[in-house]
Homo-oligomer: A and B are copies of this chain.
Amino acid sequence: MPRAVAGPEIERLISLLARVPGLGPRSARRAALQLIKKREQLMGPLASAMEDVLGKIATCRVCGNVDVRDPCSICTDDTRDPNLLVVVADVSDLWALERAGALNARYHVLGGTLSPLDGIGPDDLNLASLVGRVHEGAIKEVLLALGGTVDGQTTAHYVTDLLRESGVKVTRLAHGVPVGGELDYLDEGTLAAAIRARTSL
């Protein structure tokens, strides 16, 4: 434990910053000092942005997204395709897909993937609400965007089985070579999948 270099208020700020993902004990100190130096331009606005989000944040009762309104801005966005529902494990995946900008659909956030080793079973995920949404009838296609991990694949199979009797079309993201990726850095499984799913030019 290094010696405290400033008052307890500053030390507390440093130790909390060190728990922010992307910052460690050392960079938290640097961040704290910059925040203190730029207190008018950065620390003040950041503290009030946090208070603002804290006061308004909610988990969407429809899809499980987090937003400053409930239902969230995606669920209430009438310009989105009502026929396509994209199932993701986590809000971070939803954000990643939205950033890609290739979809104009609504989402369903499971809140994780099935993981017997970690004790995460079907009852721990938002699966009942997914089945409920699909049975409402407007959705024609469920796209499972659950990642290529074993847990993601297991979850995709489980959801597919769960939705089989609803008659809805269930799809998954394509496997293949990442755009900009170099072949000799890719694993054999991805390469084999990219070969099997090769497309004509």
Which residue numbers of A lie inside 8 Å of B, CB to CB? 2-3, 5-10, 12-13, 16-17, 19-23, 27-31, 33-37, 39, 42-47, 49-54, 56-57, 65-69, 72-73, 91-92, 94-95, 98-99, 101
B-chain residues with CB within 8 Å of residue A94 when the two chains form the complex:
5
B-chain residues with CB within 8 Å of residue A3 when the two chains form the complex:
98-99, 101
- Output the nearest chain B residue to A56 by Cβ-Cβ distance: B9
Can you list 16 A-B contacts (CB < 8 A)? A3-B101, A6-B65, A9-B52, A10-B68, A20-B31, A20-B34, A20-B35, A22-B31, A23-B31, A33-B91, A35-B50, A36-B66, A43-B50, A43-B53, A47-B47, A47-B51
A22, A37, A56 — which one has the most chain B CB atoms within 10 A of its CB?
A22
Q: A29-B95, A46-B20, A53-B43 are in contact. Are A67 and B12 (CB under 8 A)?
A: no
Q: How many copies does the complex hold?
A: 2
Bound Cα distance from A99 to B50, whole angstroms: 30
Asked if residues B101 and A9 are in contact (CB atoms below 8 Å), the reply is no
Asked if residues B50 and A6 are in contact (CB atoms below 8 Å), the reply is no
Bound Cα distance from A51 to B92, whole angstroms: 28
Identify which of B22, B54, B56, B99 contacts A47 (C-beta below 8 A). Answer: B54
Identify which of B7, B34, B92 contacts A33 (C-beta below 8 A). Answer: B92
Asked if residues B36 and A57 are in contact (CB atoms below 8 Å), the reply is yes
Q: A39-B57, A50-B13, A101-B2 are in contact. Are A95 and B45 (CB under 8 A)?
A: no
Bound Cα distance from A152 to B155, whole angstroms: 59
- Output the nearest chain B residue to A90 by Cβ-Cβ distance: B33
B-chain residues with CB within 8 Å of residue A30 when the two chains form the complex:
21-22, 92
